[in-house]
């Protein structure tokens, strides 16, 4: 029988996940189906139960259900615990296992597709919301020299650092994390600057100085499909710039691996999706 998978969200019509996963299935000769499912805002848990009863093997979860997915799980990966959110569910004999592949997707895009190794690098992570929390553990595990987390207010940054300090994966490992307001970045320079804020959705410029970008810096925006003010600022500074489309495909590839035990090739799929969103 064909194994069934899906992505659940609200809204969901815009999702590229069916295209991505069906391309992965085609190249790896996996017998599976993958569809997008619109869940009522107050009906996520019921929808998950229905899919389990229908024999689905797992689902991806997108906004606004990642926190509800986290609460729905019987078992959580360390990445899910650190993120406080789940984007991948595995259905296993009535047990619901939760994972979060966003951080792995980001790191794989940076290192494999963009040739930006993180070991020993100084990283600036802009924002302290869900996107930043989802990425942080994976970034720490690559042994950067330091990760500075900058946000308009530092309360959420300190909360984020506290969460990481309690992670079992990072036990006895130096965190090398530091909190910083945007205003205090004027005399600091970074090898990698990652925008994990949603400022690009409203075309809002972040109050960050041009001096944060080192000569060979990579400026990375987790958003994709648009040229954000952050990306425009970085381009004017003459540094390397990337959007988050590769992260989208790479986090899907990690979910595919969790489900199927095989790693798909991603570069051709990234290009395929990029060609699609340019139409």
Angle between helices 17-28 and 267-278 (to 10 degrees): 140
Assigned token pair, 31: 């017998």
DSSP 221-261: ES--SS--HHHHHHHHTT-EEE-SHHHHHHHHHHHHHHHHS
Residues 6 or more apart whose CB falls under 8 angstroms from that of 14 comprise none
DSSP 177-232: EEEEEGGGGTT--EEEEEE-SSGGGGTPPP---GGGEEEEEEEEES--SS--HHHH
Which residue numbers are catalytic?
Answer: 66
CB 182 within 8 A of CB 127: no
């Amino acid at each position: 029988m064909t194994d069934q998978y899906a992505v659940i969200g609200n809204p969901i019509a815009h999702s590229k996940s069916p295209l991505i996963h069906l391309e992965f299935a085609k190249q790896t000769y996996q017998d599976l189906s993958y569809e997008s499912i619109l869940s009522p805002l107050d009906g996520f848990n019921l929808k998950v139960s229905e899919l389990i009863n229908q024999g689905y093997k797992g689902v991806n979860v997108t906004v606004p259900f990642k926190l509800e997915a986290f609460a729905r799980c019987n078992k959580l990966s360390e990445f899910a615990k650190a993120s406080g959110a789940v984007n991948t569910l595995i259905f296993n004999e009535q047990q619901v296992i939760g994972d979060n592949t966003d951080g792995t997707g980001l790191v794989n895009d940076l290192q494999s597709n963009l040739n930006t190794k993180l070991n020993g690098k100084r990283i600036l992570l802009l924002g302290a919301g869900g996107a930043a929390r989802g990425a942080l553990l994976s970034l720490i595990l690559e042994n950067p020299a330091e990760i500075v987390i900058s946000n308009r207010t530092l309360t959420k940054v300190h909360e984020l650092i506290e969460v990481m300090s309690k992670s079992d994966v990072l036990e006895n490992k130096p965190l090398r994390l530091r909190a910083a307001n945007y205003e205090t970045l004027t005399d600091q320079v970074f090898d990698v600057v990652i925008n994990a804020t949603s400022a690009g959705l409203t075309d809002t410029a972040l109050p960050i100085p041009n001096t944060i970008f080192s000569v060979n810096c990579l400026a990375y925006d987790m958003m994709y499909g648009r040229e954000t003010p952050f990306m425009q600022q970085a381009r004017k500074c003459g540094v390397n710039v990337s959007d988050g489309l590769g992260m989208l495909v790479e986090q899907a590839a990690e979910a595919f691996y969790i489900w199927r035990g095989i790693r798909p090739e991603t570069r051709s799929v990234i290009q395929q999706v990029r060609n699609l969103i340019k139409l």
